[in-house]
Structure 1
Amino acid sequence: MLRLLGTAAVTVLALTACSAPDATGSTSAGSTFVVATSGEPDTLNPILGYGTDGAALIFDGLVARDASNTLVPALAAELPTVAADGRTVTAKLRPGITFHDGSPLTADDVVFTYTAVLDPAVDSTLRSDLDMLTGVTAPDPSTVVFTLRYAYAPFLQRLTLGIVPAKALRGQDVNKSTFNQKPVGTGPYRITSWTPGDRLALAANDTWWGGKPANSGVIVAFVADDNVRAQRARAGEFDAVELAPKLATAFPGHTVHRTPTADYRGVMLPMSDPVTGDIAIRRALNAAVDRTAMVTGVLAGAGDAAYGPVPPTSPFHVATEPVPVSLDEAGWVAGADGIRAKNGQRAEFTLMYPATDSLRKELALAVTADAKKAGIEVRPEGLTWDAIEPRMTSDALIMGWGTPYDPDFVSYKLFGSQFAGQGFFNPGGYRSPIVDRALQDGRDNADPAKRQAAYATFQQQLAADAPWVFLTYLRHTYVVRDDVAGVTPRVEAHEHDVANSLWWNIHTWTRR
């Protein structure tokens, strides 16, 4: 999960490429595009979690995703082959690919990248994503062989991970390497500078194996505050900008793209709290929230009601409804002020949200109003991420996750007991043997029918336990100048800032 900045970057970008409009009214000189987003990565190293789902601009994986999110070959000459038993995967590299520094890509670089993720000394958040992987070898400079513990159906989708040059990191402490801020990849763009809290500047890689980019570069501006980002967009600073749905108005000469996603927002409820740890309270809150009103009011129609973490667009989706509950029968009795209590404990809790995120603030306020009707008092509190993180195990939080890819992605770590209390994965400490077994069965089985059954069990049990109150699926909203050509929206995941945003194919963008 990309960590959002705690302060807004309000300084006008001090680069010639975005300093003044050209004759067409564009703010970008030549063919450099300026895009703006709310989030900023902590690192630019794929081993440590940057751009792992592809479209990372600086890096390429063995495979990539096209406009329909279908896997296509990238650094691999063709889609890797899977052995009959599903436990050996072989990839052949395209010939003649080089990194930005001119050094050749070889199978050794692929082996190093994946081995580093598996190394316990490396602080990679991806290690558990690859726990099916027992080894990676290079029988020759153009061949890579992956050996799996078990047949893992979506393994090819894990091969979108960007490949790093082994020579740049071998023998170093990967966690502290300067490579993390000044990386070298094989992608369509090379980094020229990264000013944390402000911008990332990229220049076209004219020798990219996929063909010379159609423009000379990209500047990604990091502006955490939604309102400030909208103000700067209206001032003409950006060619494309991510905005909250209600802010994407009054932009003459621009097109608004409402991009379909698997990105959900919900209330994460900690199990350690005496109120949110009570299943009756969680079920009552789950039933009380008016998701339709949130989509209409908060999202201005740019979204859909959410009842679980597997999106309706997924073949694994199972429709679930909130479980009915009587708070009176559960011992939560309404007081004179309408707020319920049980054994002297008032039905009240704090709901945190990042203060710079206007959308999450509005969702928190909507939840607060709906909860009060059920006799539950919610205290919304806008904070910085630095203040939020230490409290996630004890206070509720408006969170976001979601993936349009395989249901194993994200959910395995977000709801698995073994990850309880580990940062942004399962911060509320939810534990369920039934969910654990279902998630593991979905991961272990290659048989589609068995996976279907496993994820149905997972979704049904999650609905019964309500460790989250899922609220809405978003449609990511972007405002793009009308003179920009080549924009191709595709279904997006939660993580969509520098990588996997509307500008996933920005190397093909031109000006009309």
Structure 2
Amino acid sequence: MPQPLTATVQSRFPARFPTAGALLAALALTATACTSGAAAPLSDTGTDVPVRRGGSLVIGAEQEPDCADWIGTCGASVWGTYLMQAQTIPQVFDVRLKGKNWTPVPSNLMAYEPTTKLVGKQQRITYRLNPKAVWSDGKPITSADLKYTALQVRDSKAIFDKSGYDRITSIATPDSTTAVVTLRSPYGNWKQLFGAGYGVLPSHLLRGKDRGAVMKDGYSFSGGPWKIASWKKGVSVTLVPNDRYWGPKPHLDKVTFQFASDTSAAIQAFSGGTFDALYPTPQLTTADQIKALGGAARMQVQSQTGNLQALWLNNAKFPFDSSAVRKAFAYSVDREAIVKRLFGSYGVTAPAQSFQSPLLSRYASTDFSGYQPDAAKAERLMKADGWTKDGSGFWTKNGKKAAFTVTSLAGNQSRELTEQILQSQLAKAGFRMTIKNSTPANIFGRIAPAGDFQLGLWNLTDSFPNPTLSATFSGTAIPSAANHQSGINFMRIRVPGLDPVLERVDTELDDTARIEASHRAEKLIADSVPSLPLAAVPNVLVTGKRVGGPLSINPVEGPWWNLEDWGLAK
């Protein structure tokens, strides 16, 4: 199901969704990898600093979630996951790095890896729970909890995303540690069920009650290593260890996430010792601020993220309703020059050659690599499509110029820089591009869903290692009355033969076959050039000298995915 469209609050759920503000972070961070003194170099590996037991940390948090009802529409903020949900709600699958790929792996909630099989046209999934798993009140986590959670998602109102759960026809609980879920049709992303985003909720505490009312302002129960000690709205969230947790216990006595939406102020607080760690979305001044911290700031940059920046062409609007024009456009954009300008100081110099984000690299191909700057090819394509250049050097056809407007986030200096580079490159190739930016609310609330644009510049974010190209490129995802105006194929893309291949990607249970289908889909997309990928956008974690532990960023579960392993450095 398509996700809400915001500029600064990213969704927690396993689909693709546009974000207007993420590139602001990316450009601002490009200078931070080239720091002076002892600042950390570009690294995906993280660090491991020995810790001692006890003590507390204060971490700056840029965003405060609206509520803590994780399956409700109000609980969509990814910061809710970072601060509370990942720390307190057990889930069936975790996402971990295996080799080069972020992969769903069974969590310690499970006694065995869940299994799945087809029974006729239905999919049957069997879960066997770890008998040691208990809630913070000492009550076992049981199959009844899985059933309660699934039916709350499937049957309740104001649920953020029912994808997968809406296929459930029955849930059997033959014993307290076994649940058997039957889906009416195959669901390739079945490992996300009871995983990232929702997890498992305690039926013995919530059944018969208003779940949203109980959870929205925080809750006392936990099935994770931490409990919510307090949530002071507008101020902070404080976590303390869950003494009943059956896994490794936290080293720290307390962690406080203090809300600080102003990035510059947060960095100053970090510099002064108020904050021990940050996960910043920097403004353009952030690079110099982090440089000035020298060895006091330990910085990690993660390139294998779920963030993909692209140029989105409206296939239903002139001039991009012509495949020839779209291809000529692709041969006229020097994507490598743009990427080097924006991300070179991170060590990211090559453009993205796929519409799969780095998080989904196992499903990605490199079919867009053939689109390098080539003025001769662009000219041949335009002439064959009936275009000629006028006296000013711009392409003209039937009295209309090859002119279009680009739309992105107003006031975002990084977007404006990208647009200026594009404007110069395209003018040399005979295209006239003008800039008309707007607010995120206007872009994603009105302009993009209505298809009222020609060229868009924004990011797509994948929040689970599952291929979901259909959310962006399937004809069924074009916003319409049929889908209640909810699709995110804003570009009105209709590539012949693509939809059946995307359906195979969505429903195929064999991963090898799924990868093959994904590659076929990407080739069809690249051959049509319905839009053009630019670059992956990295994540950054900044920690101070007091912080120890294995410190790294999980692109799905966030920078504090293993907070129980953090501690005060020895």
Q: Indicate the TM-score class for this superposition, using the shorter chain for normalisation.
A: 0.7 to 0.9
Q: CA, structure 1 residues 434+47, in 2 after alignment: closer, same or farther (shift >3 Å)?
A: farther
Instruction: Report which structure shows greater RCO (CA 8 Å, sep ≥6).
Output: 2
Q: Is the 8 A contact 2:61 2:261 kept in 1?
A: no
Give the Cα separation in 2 of the matches to 1:101 and 1:373: 68
Q: Is the 8 A contact 1:361 1:382 kept in 2?
A: no
Equivalent residue, structure 1, for 2:561: 504
Q: For residues 396-430 of structure 1, what are the alpha-carbon distances to aligned partners after superposition, in whole Å with 9 as ceiling and x for unaligned? A: 4433234485443x323232222223557323333
Give the Cα separation in 2 of the matches to 1:424 and 1:508: 40
Equivalent residue, structure 1, for 2:17: none
Secondary structure of 2:562's match?
helix
Query: Is it true that 1:242 corresponds to 2:279 in the alignment?
Result: yes
Q: For residues 18-53 of structure 1, what are the alpha-carbon distances to aligned partners after superposition, in whole Å with 9 as ceiling and x for unaligned? A: xxxxxxxxxxx941230434x555553332456699
Give the Cα separation in 1 of the matches to 2:257 and 2:418: 27
Equivalent residue, structure 2, for 1:352: 408
The letter for the 2-side match of 1:418 is: T
Deviation at 1:472, TM superposition (A): 0.5
Query: Is it true that 1:34 corresponds to 2:34 in the alignment?
Result: no
Q: CA, structure 1 residues 352+171, in 2 after alignment: closer, same or farther (shift >3 Å)?
A: farther
Equivalent residue, structure 2, for 1:496: none
Which of 227, 248, 251 pairs up with 1:211? 248
Give the Cα separation in 1 of the matches to 2:268 and 2:322: 43
Matches within 5 A, 1:216-365: 216-221=253-258, 229-243=266-280, 244=282, 247=287, 248-252=290-294, 253-262=296-305, 263-302=307-346, 303=348, 304-311=350-357, 314-321=361-368, 325=378, 326-335=381-390, 337-342=392-397, 343-344=399-400, 347-353=403-409, 355=411, 359-365=414-420
Task: Structure 1 unaligned segments of length 5 or more: list them.
Answer: 9-28, 494-499
Equivalent residue, structure 2, for 1:95: 131
Give the Cα separation in 1 of the matches to 2:192 and 2:151: 17
Q: Is the 8 A contact 1:53 1:160 kept in 2?
A: no
Secondary structure of 1:117's match?
helix
TM-score by length of 2: 0.72
The letter for the 1-side match of 2:239 is: L
Query: Is it true that 1:46 corresponds to 2:80 in the alignment?
Result: no
Deviation at 1:239, TM superposition (A): 2.3
- Aligned-pair Cα RMSD in Å: 3.7
Q: For residues 237-275 of structure 1, what are the alpha-carbon distances to aligned partners after superposition, in whole Å with 9 as ceiling and x for unaligned? A: 432223459725332211121113242111233344334
Q: Which moved more, 1:329-338 or 1:71-80?
A: 329-338
Q: Is the 8 A contact 2:471 2:487 kept in 1?
A: no
Equivalent residue, structure 1, for 2:428: 373
TM-score by length of 1: 0.79
Q: For residues 93-114 of structure 1, what are the alpha-carbon distances to aligned partners after superposition, in whole Å with 9 as ceiling and x for unaligned? A: 2235444566543222211212
Q: Is the 8 A contact 2:225 2:564 kept in 1?
A: yes
Give the Cα separation in 2 of the matches to 1:369 and 1:333: 20
Identity of aligned residues (%): 22
Q: CA, structure 1 residues 456+336, in 2 after alignment: closer, same or farther (shift >3 Å)?
A: same
Q: Is the 8 A contact 1:36 1:240 kept in 2?
A: no
Task: Structure 2 unaligned segments of length 5 or more: list them.
Answer: 10-20, 22-53, 372-376, 480-484
The letter for the 2-side match of 1:476 is: N
Equivalent residue, structure 1, for 2:171: 136
Q: CA, structure 1 residues 90+469, in 2 after alignment: closer, same or farther (shift >3 Å)?
A: same
Secondary structure of 1:136's match?
strand
Give the Cα separation in 1 of the matches to 2:274 and 2:327: 46
Which of 71, 85, 91 pairs up with 1:61? 91
Q: For residues 424-468 of structure 1, what are the alpha-carbon distances to aligned partners after superposition, in whole Å with 9 as ceiling and x for unaligned? A: 732333333522211111233234443233111211122233333
Query: Is it true that 1:80 corresponds to 2:99 in the alignment?
Result: no
Q: For residues 454-492 of structure 1, what are the alpha-carbon distances to aligned partners after superposition, in whole Å with 9 as ceiling and x for unaligned? A: 111211122233333211112212222133112432562
The letter for the 2-side match of 1:33 is: V
Equivalent residue, structure 1, for 2:239: 202
The letter for the 2-side match of 1:56 is: A
Give the Cα separation in 1 of the matches to 2:258 and 2:413: 18
The letter for the 1-side match of 2:311 is: V
Deviation at 1:358, TM superposition (A): 5.5
Secondary structure of 1:57's match?
helix
